[in-house]
Amino acid sequence: MKKLAVVIVNVGLAVGLVSGCAKTPATATVASAPTPEGRVTATPVEHRIDTVAARPSQSMGSTPSQGATSQGATPGRFAPGGFVADANVKDIYLDFDRYDVRAVDAKILDANAEHLKAHPTLLVIVEGHADERGTNEYNTALGERRAKAAMTYLASRGVQASRMSLVSYGEERPACAAHTDSCWAKNRRAHFLVKPQ
């Protein structure tokens, strides 16, 4: 009986590991033109996105929580302090359980890219966020994919990858606290913070 219980526990652990969120490789993707359905697909490219401890401004009371993940280009340049929201670099919103950039959001990212290219001294942190549905781990991984998709799209439009970093907060920093579809839609986002180099 004990052997059977051990086997069941081991099988349960294996199933849990397989069904959990797989880590995505640290490679970037390039966004394509929108499909007829209005989606932008992503194609892997060869360069790596190196992991750093990217943190938004402490003055805004925002340091990554224990569940947050972060990636970016160069440590030190993205150290805490000085990153703020910029009205010229707008957030994008994503569909439930998705991280692909919609056609309407591609236009926002195009405008963001033009602003960032016109201001080459700005560094950018892309924050990935999710709504409250799903586990903390799943939402942190999903937030990371959302931030990567936005960052990759900006890179494909000419914003240097070395100027950008990302962090995922998953569900931990909601923009809206109500438990409704319209509120959850506001929480599924990629948020941008900038600071001069």
CATH code of 49's domain: 3.30.1330.60
Domain membership of residue 140 (yes or no) is yes
Which of 80, 83, 114, 102 minimizes the C-alpha distance to 150?
Answer: 102
pLDDT over 70, % of the chain: 62
**Mean pLDDT throughout 167-188?**
92
pTM of the predicted model as reported, rounded to 2 decimal places: 0.64
**For position 90, what pLDDT does the model report?**
97
Structural domain for 44, as ranges: 24-196
Phi, psi of 44 (to 5 degrees): -65, 145
Q: Tell me if 152 is assigned to some domain.
A: yes
In the predicted structure, residue 4 carries a pLDDT above the cut 50: no
**Is the residue at 172 inside a domain?**
yes
The verdict on residue 88 lying in a domain is: yes
Three-class DSSP category at 65: coil
- Per-residue pLDDT tens for 87-96? 999 999 999 9
pLDDT reported for residue 188:
94
**pLDDT at res. 77:** 81
Token couple for 84: 């703020």
Whether residue 13 is contained in a domain is answered as no
Poorest-pLDDT segment among 60-64, 69-73, 86-90, 93-97: 60-64
What is the spatial distance between Cα 116 and Cα 57, in angstroms, rounded to a whole number?
19
Reported as a single tens digit per residue, the pLDDT across 105-133 is 999 999 999 999 999 999 999 999 998 99
Q: Is residue 103 part of a domain?
A: yes
180 φ, ψ (degrees, to nearest 5)? -130, 160
CA 141 to chain CA centroid, nearest Å? 8
Does 9 fall in a domain?
Answer: no
Quote the percentage of the chain above a pLDDT of 90. 52
Tally of structural domains, the chain: 1
